[in-house]
């Protein structure tokens, strides 16, 4: 397939490289042009519109503002090739997903919401889990792309916002898991039990799952750089989850607690650290850190 790829950060760069490895003809655009030029086997273009010329285009951008600027305000939709399908893989707000679906429909372009679960290492290994929603025919068209990027695609129906709601809920659960380990180690360390020893116990028994094991290891080692997922982006996602819940009258009190801890972390200079640095916030609150 001829595929455009927009957004070559730590996740997007690895994903685009896997599409090249899978034999696809990849055209790339990035805000920092050097990243597109450095993508071996791909063709760099000068504008987002240049990536909207093939069978499909994938976008992996940081937030709503970036999506609005790069996709809606740039004129890329007006320049899109007939029959193209846009695969939006970023974690963005539900209202923006609805707006994007409407704008794509008006432009005669397919739109598939396909946010991913997985850290940059999983992206590099093509082991992402992808939640996908949108027109079934459009999803079928881009399934070879999704197969090249992940181990499984989880279909969630024909309304694109369902995929983003699921992604926000999943990220919220990860934030809650990190906060749980942060508070638990604050408790154990206050009684002289090393956080690393406690986390080894619980991640080998009660909570032997990838999220607890992975982030538990970061907390145990106090290793928050380089960031697999920045704390400030975690704050963005928890806020989006709370906004999505409020729109339906749902209450997420635990998420509100985590949001406040994430705000404290950003204000405390941890915004560009991995979001497992939430442990530092809990430990500072408990007087265990300076």
Within 8 A by CB and 6+ apart from 49, the residues are: 74, 75, 76, 78, 79, 80
Residue 152 CB neighbour total at 10 angstroms:
12
Distance CA 40, CA 77 (A): 26
Which one of 167, 213, 230, 248 is the catalytic residue?
167
Task: From residue 190, give the alpha-carbon distance in Å to each of 20, 159, 181, 258, 267.
Answer: 51, 48, 14, 21, 24
DSSP assignment of 53-65 equals SSSEEEE--SSHH
Distance CA 94, CA 90 (A): 12
Has 167 been annotated as catalytic?
yes
SS3 of 4, please?
A: strand
Within 8 A by CB and 6+ apart from 127, the residues are: 118, 150, 151
SS3 of 131, please?
A: strand
Question: Which positions are catalytic?
Answer: 167
């Amino acid at each position: 397939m001829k595929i455009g790829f927009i957004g070559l950060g730590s996740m997007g760069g690895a994903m685009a490289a896997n599409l090249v490895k899978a034999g696809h003809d990849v055209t790339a655009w990035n805000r920092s042009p050097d990243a597109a030029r450095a993508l071996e086997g791909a063709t760099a273009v000068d504008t987002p519109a240049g990536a909207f010329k093939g069978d499909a285009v994938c976008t992996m951008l940081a937030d709503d503002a970036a999506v609005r600027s790069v996709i809606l305000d740039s004129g890329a939709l007006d320049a899109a090739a007939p029959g193209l399908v846009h695969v939006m893989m970023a974690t963005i707000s539900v209202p923006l997903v609805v707006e994007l679906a409407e704008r794509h429909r008006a432009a005669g372009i397919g739109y598939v919401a396909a946010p991913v679960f997985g850290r940059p290492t999983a992206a590099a290994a093509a082991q992402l889990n992808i939640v996908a929603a949108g027109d079934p025919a459009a999803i079928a068209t881009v399934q070879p792309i999704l197969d090249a990027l992940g181990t499984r695609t989880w279909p969630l129906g024909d309304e694109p916002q369902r995929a983003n709601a699921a992604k926000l809920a999943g990220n919220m659960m990860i934030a809650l898991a990190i906060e749980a380990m942060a508070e638990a180690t604050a408790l154990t360390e206050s009684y002289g039990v090393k956080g690393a020893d406690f986390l080894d116990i619980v991640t080998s028994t009660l909570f032997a799952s990838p999220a607890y094991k992975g982030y538990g290891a970061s907390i145990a080692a106090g290793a928050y750089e380089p960031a697999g997922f920045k704390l400030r982006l975690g704050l963005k996602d928890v806020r989006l989850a709370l906004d999505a819940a409020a729109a339906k009258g749902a209450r997420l009190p635990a998420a509100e607690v985590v949001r406040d801890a994430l705000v404290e972390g950003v204000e405390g200079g941890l915004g560009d650290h991995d979001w497992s640095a939430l442990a530092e916030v809990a430990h500072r609150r408990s007087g265990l850190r300076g």
